Every structure is written in C-alpha cells, then in structure tokens.
Amino acid sequence: MFNKVCIIGCGLIGSSLARAIKENNLAKKVVSSNRSDYVNKKVIELKIVDDSGSDTKKMVKNSDLVVIATPLSSYASIISKIKDTLKDGSILTDVGSVKENTTNLIEKNLPNNISWIPSHPIAGTEESGPESGFSKLFQNRWCILTPSKKSKKKDINLLKIFWEKAGSKVDIMNTKKHDHILSITSHMPHLIAYNIVKTSLSIQKKQKSEIIKYSAGGLRDFTRIAASNPIMWRDIFIHNKKNTSEMIDKFIENLEDLKKAIESEDNQKLEKIFKKTKIIRKDIIQAGQDVKKPDFGRT
Amino acid sequence: MFNKVCIIGCGLIGSSLARAIKENNLAKKVVSSNRSDYVNKKVIELKIVDDSGSDTKKMVKNSDLVVIATPLSSYASIISKIKDTLKDGSILTDVGSVKENTTNLIEKNLPNNISWIPSHPIAGTEESGPESGFSKLFQNRWCILTPSKKSKKKDINLLKIFWEKAGSKVDIMNTKKHDHILSITSHMPHLIAYNIVKTSLSIQKKQKSEIIKYSAGGLRDFTRIAASNPIMWRDIFIHNKKNTSEMIDKFIENLEDLKKAIESEDNQKLEKIFKKTKIIRKDIIQAGQDVKKPDFGRT
C-alpha cells in the first residue's frame, strides 16, 4: 500500500502496528524513530522495523505515511520538528486516545499539502514497550478516524483500508463526539481503577500483604488496569480534562446515591440498580466486545 | 471425612462445593436444600448431589456438616428453621462474604452442642446458579475461617482440612478484621464496578450502542464484575455497611484529589500516583494471585 511508513514511538501500539504492517505487507519499508537508543537498537534486533534512529527528521524523510505513537504531551514538539520534512502529499496520522485539542493543534501547524488524519485504535494491554507488542493487537478491534480540515477524502479512504488490512474495523466521527464517548468507555474506567488501587494502598500500609493475598476477590482486576502506562494515561486525563471532570462529578453523585441506599438498607433500590447493570453485560457479549467465559482463579 | 453433608443453597458456590466434595470423596452422601423445585430437580439430574428438596429441616437431618450457601439476608430464617434439627456434635458453616453480624447472630441462636465455624472461600465468577459451578473453583484460592465462641477446636481443624482437600488454602482470623480487609479487596471493587456501569448507563441513553461498541477500551472489564449476582451483593453491602461507607468516603476523597490534579494539569503528581499503583500489580503476580499474562482483545 505504501512505499515507506515511519512510526514515531515504538511502544506497545507503535511496535504492534509495525508488526502488523510487515505481516500483512502494507509497506515496502517500515522505519521508526525513538528517543531511546535502547529502543532503536531493540526494534531492529527484533526485526520489527527495517531502520530506526533518534533523528526523527531523518527517519520521517520520504515517508508516505507517518504515524505518531507517542504520549499526547509530545505532539507539539514532534510537529515542530517534522512539519517541514514531511513528504508532499503524504499522510500523517497518530494513535492517540484524545482527539479534539491535538487535532486542532496539528491542523494549525501543518503545511497544506499534508493529509492530517487522526486515528485511534481502541486496542491495548496493560503492558508497555516494544517487546510487549504483537501483530494481532488490532484484530477485530475498532479504530476511530476523526478527520481534520486537512484530511483529503481519498486519503481518508486509503487510511481506512490500511487499518482494515491491519485487522481493525473502522469508524469515522468528529473529535468532540470521540472524546466524550471515550471518556465514558475508557478514560473513566482507567481513572477509577487507578483511584481504587490508590485508595487501597493509602488505607492499608500495615496490611499490604493481606490486601495482596486476598486480592482475587475483585481488586486484582483493577490492579491490572491500573498497571497501564503512567505517562500515557496522565496525558490522556489532562488532554480530556473537561470530559473527565464531568464524568468524575457524575460518578461521585451516583456513588453518594448508592451509599445512601446502603446506609438506609434500601434493599429494593439496590437490587434494581444491580439488576440493570447486569443486563448491559449481555449486550456487550452480543456485540462481540467480550466473550461469555467466566473469569475464575487464574493461577 | 463426613458421613453426610448438607448444602443449603446450590448456587455457584454451593454447587461447586458439592462437586468438590464428590470429586475428592469428602463425604459418603451429599444432599442439598433449595427453595426452588427447579434447582432441586436440576442438582439431582446433574448428579451434583445425592438428594435434594425444599424441606430444609428434612434435608439437614443427621448431617455431620451443614453449609449455608445462600444470600446473607436469608440466614436468620434458615437458622430458626434448622437449629433444633441439627445433629448433636455436628459442624455448621457458611460461605458468606461478611462475617461480623452473621457470626454473632448464629452464635446467639444455636444450641451449645453445635460447632458454628463461619467460612469464606474467596472464589467465584460473575455467573450464578448450579449450572455455573465447577469442582475446581476453590483450587489455590484462599478460604478464611472466622471462628465463633461456639467453634470447637478440633472441629476448626477438621473444617480446615476439609477446605484444603477441596483445593483451598486456609487462613484463620477474627470477624472484624475479615470484614475490614474484604471491604477493601472485594466489596469496594464490586461496588465501584456497579457504580461505573450505572454512571455510563445514566449518561448515555441515546448513545448506548456506541458505549457497547467501544467498551473494549476499559468499561468491558467492569461490566463483567457488575454482572455478579445482584441479591448476593446487595446483602454484602448492607451487612458490611459501616466498612463500605468508610471506604466510599475514602474513595471519593481520593477521586476529588485526582480531579484537582487533572484540572490543574499537575503532571508530576499524576505521574507519581500512576507509577505507584503500577507497582502493586507486580506484588500480586508474585503472590500468585494473578498471572502475568496481558489481557487483550478477547473476541
């Protein structure tokens, strides 16, 4: 599909995409740029890319597709570095989890001859780094494109096909809607997981070993989510702070309501709430977003 | 180990225990008592028990071990029904998730010749009912005994060996400590999962299908936990309401703190918190309470 693809940032997502490109023959050449020399060496050693180096300008040169796969806070400096080196008529995309402000930022700072088409593959694990990536990460997962004013129609279509060939199902929506829906389905769940682990840790310094011992009662599953990349998630919450704050307020309001029902022993109300939340599980399984396989003792 | 064991309530836990007893030859005869005729028929049909009926008094008769495996709110009526039928010198236990008030309640209402030894196997899945049980549910999971004033020493030891033969590792602690630790490792995580699903549902009536579509971003994992048995969890929160309320307050306090850090874009603080929560994950894996296997696209 492309002659040369450059991935900036070979972490979990970037290295998985490089692997998927190679496996599905989506480019003749895949290169990457990473700040760390260790990573640049590692991705060549693992044959994830054909070339890699810390000089981003040099790596980006002549690429038909450039993918930013670094934390959101690095976008501004990357753009100022590469904007005059990007190939005429090439496509620039990213894999970030928040869209509105980064889409606008890049839109303003990019030459007109570049198609800037933000992507968000909804895929990942709690692990980080190039060693943790794998080519099937995007298989059957959604990838959302949020076109900018600088997205050419034919390129949107090309990028859509690219993600589909990498295994994704593709949806297109505007940045505002993306940031709102993702704050519900992804950002809030992660923040809550971080907060529950933070809360357990703060209470029980003395009883830490007991908390770990009995974590299979539920806490365990939250610690998995709360083990996700700290820098990436810090940036996500800050970049989507308006939606995140709103969600926190609504979450607390609902929790206070549950607390009242518990304290007043309102059996009926609690039962009604817990029965409702059970139903959505069935819908998710029907939609193919999870499997109906109970999760038990994973040791 | 026993001549006759009677399990009151063949749901996920009760039916799993019956299966484990049969598989490990822990009793000559296993019977159960269920309110529902359907369940009584089903457990005989599935050969989970040798006999089953809705007449609890009749089923309990002559049992060396009686296990209450019903929601906490049913304990009072069960005890008043069976207390005069329990066999002299027999052991009474349960599998409930909250201990302080049920331990005291039964302690007060039981004849002196019965060893009342509360148990709490920390095991389960989000599924309910006798069909969802399996004999290996307790394998390598902890089971906590919280002896009462009516627990005879030799019987505590016998019950400990019984749980070990069913696959569990056994710990002994007092009821207060149990209820506090479990409110952190199990009750709060479940309440938070219910609340996050409730919050998403309340916001997005119009966008329900989109929430389901993109649930793999994190929400999916909470819907699994929030699909657990509604009656059982309603009872747990109410029976442990003091600890639950305290945990909710601490949780909200921490969440408000996170919100402030996000709104003021306090990068350093957020990074520090998220790095800390990542560490406990390693401890849990080291303690054998989860496996180091990333969780990705489960479709």
pLDDT digits (tens, 9 = 90+) for B65-99: 999 999 999 999 999 999 999 999 999 999 999 99
| B281 SS3 class | helix
Name every residue whose Cβ is closer than 8 Å to that of residue A5 and which is 6 or more positions away in sequence.
A21, A26, A27, A29, A30, A31, A63, A64, A65, A66, A67
Confidence at residue A294, expressed as pLDDT on a 0 to 100 scale: 55
Q: Over the stretch B228-238, which tens digit does the pLDDT of each residue have? A: 889 999 999 99
Closest CA of chain B from A256, distance in Å = 8
**Predicted confidence (pLDDT) at residue B51 exceeds the cutoff of 50:** yes
Confidence at residue B225, expressed as pLDDT on a 0 to 100 scale: 83
Q: A189 vs A182, A192, A226, B220, B273, CA distance in Å?
A: 10, 5, 10, 9, 16
**Predicted confidence (pLDDT) at residue B226 exceeds the cutoff of 90:** no
**Predicted confidence (pLDDT) at residue A121 exceeds the cutoff of 80:** yes
Among the partner residues A171, A185, A194, nearest to B219 by beta-carbon distance: A185
The reply to whether B297 falls in a domain is no
Confidence at residue B279, expressed as pLDDT on a 0 to 100 scale: 81
For residue A6, what are the β-bridge partners? A31, A66
- Asked if B162 and B91 sit in the same domain, the reply is yes
Q: Which of A255, A276, A291, A293 to mutate to test the interface with B (most CBs of B within 10 A)?
A: A255
Percentage of chain A beyond pLDDT 90 is 77
Confidence at residue B229, expressed as pLDDT on a 0 to 100 scale: 87
Q: B127 vs A254, A267, A280, A296, B52, CA distance in Å?
A: 25, 21, 14, 10, 22
Last residue of a domain, one of A173, A196, A228: A173
- Cα–Cα distance for residue pair A68/A217, rounded to 1 Å: 39
Taking CA–CA distances from B128, the nearest residue in chain A reads A294
Confidence at residue B297, expressed as pLDDT on a 0 to 100 scale: 36
- Asked if B156 and B15 sit in the same domain, the reply is yes
Among the partner residues A225, A247, A271, nearest to B218 by beta-carbon distance: A225
pTM for this structure?
Answer: 0.88
- Asked if B76 and B160 sit in the same domain, the reply is yes
- Asked if B45 and B117 sit in the same domain, the reply is yes
Q: How confident is the model at residue B289 (pLDDT cuts 50, 70, 90)?
A: low
- Cα–Cα distance for residue pair A225/A244, rounded to 1 Å: 17
Percentage of chain A beyond pLDDT 70 is 95
- Asked if B158 and B191 sit in the same domain, the reply is no
Last residue of a domain, one of B173, B203, B235: B173
Task: Pick the closest to residue A136 from A279, A37, A24 (CA basis).
Answer: A24
Q: Which residue has the higher pLDDT, A79 or B225?
A: A79
Number of domains forming the structure of chain B: 2
- Asked if B63 and B210 sit in the same domain, the reply is no
Confidence at residue B298, expressed as pLDDT on a 0 to 100 scale: 34
Q: Which of B169, B198, B232 to mutate to test the interface with A (most CBs of A within 10 A)?
A: B198
The reply to whether A293 falls in a domain is no
The reply to whether B298 falls in a domain is no
The reply to whether A292 falls in a domain is no
Confidence at residue B294, expressed as pLDDT on a 0 to 100 scale: 55
Domain span at residue A273 reads: 177-286
Least confident of A107-116, A216-225, B61-70, B269-278: A216-225
Overall average pLDDT of the A31-38 stretch: 97
Structure token digits, residue A111: 């030459």
Q: Over the stretch A122-150, which tens digit does the pLDDT of each residue have? A: 988 878 889 999 999 999 899 999 999 99
Last residue of a domain, one of B151, B173, B195: B173
B148: domain CATH number is: 3.40.50.720
Closest CA of chain A from B191, distance in Å = 9
Q: Say what the alpha-carbon torsion angle A123, A127, A129, A130 is, to the nearest 10 degrees.
A: -60
Q: How far apart are the first and last CA of chain B?
A: 43
Q: How confident is the model at residue B124 (pLDDT cuts 50, 70, 90)?
A: confident
**Predicted confidence (pLDDT) at residue B266 exceeds the cutoff of 90:** yes
Q: Over the stretch A199-241, which tens digit does the pLDDT of each residue have? A: 988 876 667 788 888 887 788 888 888 888 899 999 999 999 9
**What's chain A's average pLDDT?**
91
Confidence at residue A298, expressed as pLDDT on a 0 to 100 scale: 34
- Asked if A162 and A29 sit in the same domain, the reply is yes
Confidence at residue B204, expressed as pLDDT on a 0 to 100 scale: 60
Beta strands at A119-121 and A142-145: parallel, antiparallel or unpaired: antiparallel
Taking a contact as any Cβ pair under 8 Å apart, which residues of chain A between 188 and 247 contact chain B? 188-204, 207-228, 230-231, 233-234, 237-238, 241, 244-245, 247
- Asked if A253 and A109 sit in the same domain, the reply is no
**Sole residue written with tokens 């994704």:** A168
Q: Sign (positive/negative) of CA torsion B133, B138, B141, B147?
A: positive
Q: Over the stretch B185-216, which tens digit does the pLDDT of each residue have? A: 999 999 999 999 889 888 766 677 888 888 87
Concatenated DSSP letters for B35-87?
A: S-HHHHHHHHHTTS-SEEES-HHHHHTT-SEEEE-S-GGGHHHHHHHHTTTSP
- Asked if A31 and A159 sit in the same domain, the reply is yes
Least confident of A63-77, A82-96, A206-220: A206-220
Confidence at residue B299, expressed as pLDDT on a 0 to 100 scale: 29
- Asked if B7 and B111 sit in the same domain, the reply is yes
* Residue A143 · residue A168 · CB < 8 Å: yes
Collect all residues of chain B within an 8 Å Cβ-Cβ radius of residue A121.
none
Structure token digits, residue A43: 């991705």
The reply to whether A89 falls in a domain is yes
